[in-house]
């Protein structure tokens, strides 16, 4: 029901503002408005105020404003000065363009309100993970650092701004220097050249972009695992899947914090608070006390790790591999801990997955090191190739070993911060820039679709919109408002397409009239409108087909539910 509720709110607001644009400008130009309707079909509620009848109609998939004299094929017998068809072309262009412009203005308003009110939460420019030995590590960056500036100029307030600035510098052929903050210390990294990644962009084009390798907004939490039952931690009562809440009264959130603490601690008495889950039972908090022997403090880092036997839970195999998977064929078992690929330590899940894709294309070149019972073993792995449809058309090859990620058990939630711009002029500029950028992105996407570079199956209709709207509504008001703004821009842009019966089609006719010095003939207008209606009906059928194909099982479940069928 939240999907139905979401689509009603979303479409209702968008249609209202679109038709309000036509209504306001028509009134301003002195044109009589006969009907203002939200929805099509049978009028459920109607009330006449002045010269205009306001309606709420049965089918909530659009709306309309009926202007006096808008049909050029029908003669205007009286009150010609208030007739749409008798207005100068410039006024008719203004009235036709007002709906899409109001949609764009509505998006600017939404983004402006979001920025000045601070209701949006964004991913902070915080390095949750830095892989040892990576480019970022060599620059001196460490987990917990916050990026403040890029090349000493841009003030960074969100992670995507940081990534965008690095990519932009790479496009310009510039080196990059980062200003970062670590607790109270602010420092500047040496200059570096961003590394290149190639991936598909939203226009289904292969795109190279500059990135800083070795950083991520996700990091392993304090859930721990053990491979050696004789290790100090196992003997003191730790179990696989325990999550450390605090150590000696100090709250700990990430594995990197816990790891550093254990390697550099000066006390010999450790007091852990841990959460332990049991199947079908809520997590319980308990304490584990550990006394370190004097010889522990004489060990190096690697020896301390082996002695304690505590490891991040991230790369433990948590369930048996299915028959026929690469992991099963290689003999990997539950509670093995993956440590390296081709002798290179595994740093992060994204890097792990990327490495599998790289070596999977070269059979026989993939060697996986794993820890079983406290002993390291190496095995040759032949990742399984799967072929699946690519979102941009064609097929894509993927290589897998059969291991699944468990993000809720393994990772710290993203670090989100309230984003607020108190300067109204900056907020308005940012909202306008964002809206215009999205409009251009949609125009470009339509162009790519017409060229066949973006598949038609990417299009969606009311069911997809309802699904997305419902999902965003459940996430909170800010994600829903952002979606509302995006679809408002989408509606405005699509209405500007030069298809007869859309606003863009009317604008095309008026421009032709300006050039010719007289309107197009009624015969041409009639043929064009018929063709335009056929195109619109074809698009409606296409998006409904795409929606039903995507959500057929969900639609059946919904129909059974409302009809009382078990």
Q: Does 425 lie in the same domain as 548?
A: yes
Could you identify the residue written with the tokens 């209405």? Answer: 495
Could you give the 3-state DSSP secondary structure of residue 294?
helix
Report the C-alpha gap between 536 and 540 in whole angstroms.
Answer: 6
Which residues does 132 contact at the CB level (< 8 Å), separation at least 6?
345, 347
Q: State how far the Cα of 162 lies from the Cα of 126, in Å rounded to an integer.
A: 10
Q: Are 227 and 371 in contact (CB under 8 A)?
A: yes
- Asked if 207 and 201 touch (Cβ cutoff 8 Å), the reply is yes
Alpha-carbon distance of 454 to 179, in angstroms, equals 39
Residue 444, both tokens: 């470009």
In a domain, 484, yes or no: yes
Q: What is the pLDDT along the chain (566 residues), one digit of tens a residue?
A: 555 555 666 677 788 888 899 999 999 998 999 899 887 778 888 888 888 999 888 876 677 888 888 776 666 667 778 888 888 899 999 999 999 999 999 999 999 999 999 888 888 999 999 988 889 999 999 998 999 999 987 788 889 889 989 999 999 999 999 999 998 899 999 999 999 888 776 666 777 889 999 898 888 899 999 999 899 999 999 999 899 999 999 999 999 899 999 999 888 999 999 999 876 677 789 999 999 999 999 999 989 999 999 999 988 998 888 888 888 999 999 999 999 999 888 878 888 888 888 888 888 888 999 999 989 999 999 988 888 766 666 677 888 888 877 777 788 888 888 888 888 999 999 999 999 988 888 888 777 777 766 666 666 666 666 666 666 666 778 888 888 888 899 889 888 988 888 889 989 988 998 888 888 888 888 888 888 888 888 877 877 777 677 666 655 554 445 444 44
Number of other CB atoms surrounding residue 120 within 10 Å: 21
Residue 352, domain extent:
320-403
Number of domains in the chain: 4
Residue 391: what pLDDT? 60
Per the confidence metrics, is the pTM higher than 0.95?
Answer: no
Q: Are residues 144 and 113 in the same domain?
A: no
At residue 222, the 3 state secondary structure works out as: coil
The DSSP string of 76-110 is P-S-GGG-GGGS-HHHHHHHHHHHHHHHHHHHHHH
Same structural domain, 98 and 144: no
Residue 159 lies in a domain: yes
* Backbone phi, psi, residue 481, to 5°: -65, -40
Rg, Å, the chain Cα set:
30
Q: Return d(Cα 258, Cα 305) in angstroms, integer.
A: 12
In a domain, 209, yes or no: yes
Q: Calculate the dihedral angle through the C-alpha atoms of 157, 161, 166, 168, rounding to the nearest 10 degrees.
A: -140
Residue that finishes a domain, picked among 192, 216, 240: 216
On whether both 139 and 112 belong to a single domain, the answer is no
Residues 159, 178 share a domain: yes
Residue 436 lies in a domain: yes
DSSP 508: H
C-alpha span between 365 and 380 (Å, rounded)? 8
Does residue 413 fall inside a structural domain?
A: no
207: annotated active-site residue: no
pLDDT at 438: 87
- Assigned domain for 492 exists: yes
Of 19, 70, 120, 314, which is the active-site residue?
19
pLDDT score of 450: 75
3-state SS record for 22-52 = HHHHHHHCCCCEEEEEEEEEEEEEEEEECCE
Place of tokens 């820890």: 371
Domain co-membership, 305 together with 349: no
Q: What confidence score (pLDDT) does residue 28 get? A: 92
Of the candidates 187, 216, 245, which is a domain's last residue?
216
Q: At what angle do helices 424-450 and 89-117 cross, to 10 degrees?
A: 120
- Are 426 and 552 members of one domain? yes
- Report the CATH number at residue 269: 2.30.42.10
Do 556 and 506 lie in one domain? The reply is yes
Rounded to 10°, the helix 503-516/522-563 angle is: 170
526 and 429 in one domain? Answer: yes
Is the same domain home to 536 and 461? Answer: yes
| Residue 410 belongs to a domain | no
The pair of structure tokens assigned to 424 is 């109204």
3-state helix, strand, coil in the chain (%, to 5): 45, 25, 30
Tell me, yes or no, whether 412 lies in a domain: no
**114/182 same-domain check:** no
Spatial distance between the Cα atoms of 255 and 243, rounded to a whole number of angstroms: 10
Tokens at 518, concatenated: 């007289």
Task: Return all residues near 409 (Cβ < 8 A) that are at least 6 apart.
Answer: 223, 241, 313, 318
d(CA 341, CA 291): 35
**Using CA atoms, how far apart are residues 411 and 218, in angstroms rounded to an integer?**
7
Q: What angle do CA 559, 6, 472 make, to 5 degrees?
A: 115
Same domain? 101 vs 32: yes
Given 337, 370, 403, the domain boundary residue is: 403
């Amino acid at each position: 029901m939240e999907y139905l509720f979401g689509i009603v709110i979303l479409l209702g607001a968008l249609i209202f503002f679109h038709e309000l644009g036509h209504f306001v400008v028509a009134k301003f130009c002195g044109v009589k408005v006969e009907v203002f309707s939200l929805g099509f079909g049978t009028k459920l509620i109607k009330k006449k105020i002045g010269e205009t009848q306001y309606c709420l109609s049965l089918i909530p998939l659009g709306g309309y404003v009926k202007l006096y004299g808008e049909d050029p094929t029908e003669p205007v017998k009286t009150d010609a000065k208030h007739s749409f068809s008798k207005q100068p072309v410039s006024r008719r262009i203004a009235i036709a363009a007002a709906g899409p412009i109001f949609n764009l203005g509505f998006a600017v308003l939404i983004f402006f309100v979001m920025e000045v009110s601070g209701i949006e939460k964004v991913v902070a420019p915080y390095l949750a993970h830095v892989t040892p030995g990576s480019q970022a590590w060599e620059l001196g960056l460490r987990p917990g650092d916050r990026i403040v500036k890029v090349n000493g100029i841009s003030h960074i307030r969100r992670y995507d701004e940081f990534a965008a600035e690095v990519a932009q510098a790479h496009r310009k052929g510039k080196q990059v220097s980062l200003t970062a903050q670590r607790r109270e210390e602010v420092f500047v990294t040496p200059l570096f050249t961003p590394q290149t990644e190639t991936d598909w962009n939203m226009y289904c084009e292969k795109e190279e972009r500059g990135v800083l390798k070795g950083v991520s907004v996700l990091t392993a939490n304090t859930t721990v695992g053990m491979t050696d039952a004789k290790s100090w931690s196992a003997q003191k009562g730790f179990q696989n899947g325990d999550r450390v809440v605090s150590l000696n009264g100090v709250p700990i959130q990430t594995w990197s914090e816990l790891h550093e603490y254990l390697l550099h601690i000066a006390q010999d008495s450790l007091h852990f608070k841990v959460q332990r889950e049991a199947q079908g039972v809520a997590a319980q908090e308990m304490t584990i006390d550990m006394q370190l022997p004097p010889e522990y403090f004489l060990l190096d880092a690697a020896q301390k790790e082996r002695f304690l036997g505590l490891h991040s839970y991230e790369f433990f195999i948590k369930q048996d591999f299915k028959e026929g998977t690469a992991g099963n064929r290689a003999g990997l078992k539950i509670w093995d801990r993956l440590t390296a690929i081709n002798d290179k330590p595994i740093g992060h899940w994204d890097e792990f997955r990327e490495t599998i894709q790289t070596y999977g294309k070269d059979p026989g070149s993939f060697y996986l090191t794993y820890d079983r019972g406290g002993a390291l073993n190496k095995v040759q792995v032949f990742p399984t190739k799967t072929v699946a449809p690519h979102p941009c058309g064609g097929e894509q090859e993927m290589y897998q070993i059969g291991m699944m990620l468990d993000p809720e058990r393994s990772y710290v939630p993203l670090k989100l911060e309230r984003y607020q711009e108190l300067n109204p002029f900056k907020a308005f500029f940012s909202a306008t820039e964002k809206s215009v950028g999205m409009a251009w992105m949609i125009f470009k996407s339509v162009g790519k679709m017409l060229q066949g570079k973006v598949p038609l199956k990417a299009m969606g209709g009311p069911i997809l919109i309802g699904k997305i709207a419902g999902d965003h509504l459940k996430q909170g008001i800010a994600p829903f408002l952002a979606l509302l703004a995006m679809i408002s821009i989408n509606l405005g842009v699509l209405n500007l397409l030069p298809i007869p019966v859309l606003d863009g089609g009317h604008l095309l006719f008026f421009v032709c009239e300006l050039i010719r010095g007289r309107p197009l003939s009624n015969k041409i207008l009639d043929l064009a409108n018929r063709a335009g209606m056929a195109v619109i009906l074809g698009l409606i059928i296409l998006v409904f087909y795409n929606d039903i194909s995507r959500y057929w099982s969900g639609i059946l479940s919904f129909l059974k539910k409302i009809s009382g069928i078990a």
